[in-house]
Amino acid sequence: MVAVLAAAFLSIRFYLTRAVQEKYRQSADVWGRGEQYEAGRTAEDHWESSYRLPTENCELIKTRVDALREEVNILEMRIEQLAQEAQDLEDRAAKFEENAQMIEDEARWLEDNGHDDEAASIRANKPDLIAEADKCKDEARRKRAKMQECSDEQERLIDNINALRRAHPACF
């Protein structure tokens, strides 16, 4: 029985070794941000030793930073646009709810004055208004969630700009 277990462990040893090596490779890719070390070409950042960038000329680095800034600006405009759209949708939802309340008030007045059939007829429109208000609120929530995604991406880009500045202080 011991021999069978030993043979089983020896036979899976290769697969376990490969799994561990793959895990180390994935971890290295995360810490190295996908870059490979190349002797004489990779500069070590004195501030963040785990973050390495290939040494490049300042013009290329400045071009990268400018492109990243442009992306940040585009995201800023997109965030403002989404904020305006979300606000418009929330205002629209409030109008629908206000109209639904006005219908309810009018239906109550009609009931109080003995016009039950007219009150029921008017009240029939209320669920449609509330449904439209809910649709507007849902769409506004989606816009706000998209705003958060854009904001997170913007922060990531700013972090990249700052990392480039720290890695190549002589260029700035």
Token pair for 57: 């000329």
pLDDT grade, residue 147 (50/70/90)? Answer: very high
The domains of the chain are located at 62-171
Which of 39-43, 62-66, 155-159 is predicted with the least confidence, judged by mean pLDDT?
Answer: 39-43
3-state secondary structure of 90: helix
Give the pLDDT confidence of 48-73 residue by residue, as tens digits: 444 444 455 788 888 899 999 999 99
Distance between CA atoms of 35 and 54, rounded to whole angstroms?
8
Burial of 168 (0-12, 13-18, 19+ CB in 10 A): buried
pTM of the model: 0.60
Distance between CA atoms of 52 and 35, rounded to whole angstroms?
8
Which of 43-47, 81-85, 162-166 is predicted with the least confidence, judged by mean pLDDT?
Answer: 43-47
Task: Count the Cβ atoms, other than its own, within 10 Å of residue 65.
Answer: 18
Residue tagged 């994935």 (tokens): 26
Which of 69-78, 101-110, 161-170 is predicted with the least confidence, judged by mean pLDDT?
Answer: 161-170
- Supply φ then ψ for residue 43, to 5 degrees: -100, 140
**122 pLDDT more than 60:** yes
